[in-house]
Structure 1
């Protein structure tokens, strides 16, 4: 198979093949190129529905002019150097891994994630340790340190990436945790529940008999259904009740029983009990607090275990 960069004519052939509805493998066969070369080219230049030959060629030339020298491909993946056979220590094709990372990033861009943030996330997901330093990300992605820093900041804001100090060097590493998708789900569920709750209150204020009130009531039904359809967690109604009961306990300051909370909120005791049970079974909902019961069965709020160290608790004057 021929080596070297894709030519302008190669890119026009790719665009024609995509227009004909051909798969990457067939396009690659016609060009006598690896399938991964074609898939990576399309993924980094707009995807199968947005690929334009001229635009892709000019973009590649601009990137080449800006690009600084980088290590050869076999040093790109930490902990998994490529062998003479073209595979890493785990028997994987580094070229195929990079192509997949670009495809993953393109999908994340389609969901609304900025392109650079998507590329950083894809690189972390496809790296065995799930952690890289800023310098490693710069080298792998062939971008500036400022671009990596901005992308990391964006991902941290979404709680998708966290940073930690490398114990062996004076530098930070950026990590993606194994439970990141659970936390993302909880964030989505929390948002849906809040939207359902505010639209419910709006419908009550504006009256569902009016066009505006009816519109908000439809919005409430949509977000309640959306949250209910997210299997594995509390429904939007229970989620909203949990936040309300936690707010009531925070306002009360002193412990309250289920019956006392029910009277204060004007709810059946069963509804209050279900909300408190949800707070215990789904601690991420209540974070950074947690309900605690005294010997009489009354409930109050305390800092969630792990949020404060023993030394911090002692400094604040409480065990």
Structure 2
């Protein structure tokens, strides 16, 4: 390597370092500004929110929600007397909007709190200032250490640079990741169809989305906590499994899958859909017309039978999110 190339390499590396230092410093300044904004917002909330009135409003909303949910629980219990019942958590209303004091009163309390805080800071500064003056001979060391600490923190929080064009060939191929996610989605679809087939054989109507998530995690098809109820509902709808809003299982009503609705959407019962998804679906071989003997002209029938319509095929499935398959066993039947 020539001297010119060495100088260019050092300069190019220094430029990247200064760029990372600048971008990281902007990130740190943004965090400091965010902390100041959060502190001001917290101070305003402390001065303006009436905690007692807010607590009373929340208690009233909770009582109203409990009174509204009591008849629904009683009706569900009466319909499913033979089913097992479990203790349900206490019903509570969502957090209410805080009750705030008048603006003039809030500003007065904020000013009073600011005066008290300034007095406390001034007192602490007066007590600590003599000790700070003793550090005067070490000002250069303190400034150097502080500057190095800032630079290290800036480089740590700096965003990663965009990959260079020369390194494009070294980037990992996403084909393997896509194949892994698709395989996991196929395994989860088979798991769902197996559960629905079992329910159909037992004469049960359906199951909840939360129960499906738990069973998939137990079988190692999903990483624990990777998909919540909302994410699973979105994946089911996108994969051809219609989600029903109100499915009753042992007196509990929640989002779930019904055997009849899934069968209607797929055009076949779950056990047949499972066979098609696994590549074991029955296929009717095409019937060939018998050949006419030699010398005998073949005569076409007056009404040729129409070819049989192909059986419905599954259009499943949408690939799972990458986070849902990380750490899972990826068991594929």
TM-score after normalising by structure 1:
0.22
Which structure: larger Rg?
2
TM-score for both structures, normalised by structure 2: 0.21
Higher RCO, 1 vs 2 (CA within 8 Å, ≥6 residues apart):
2
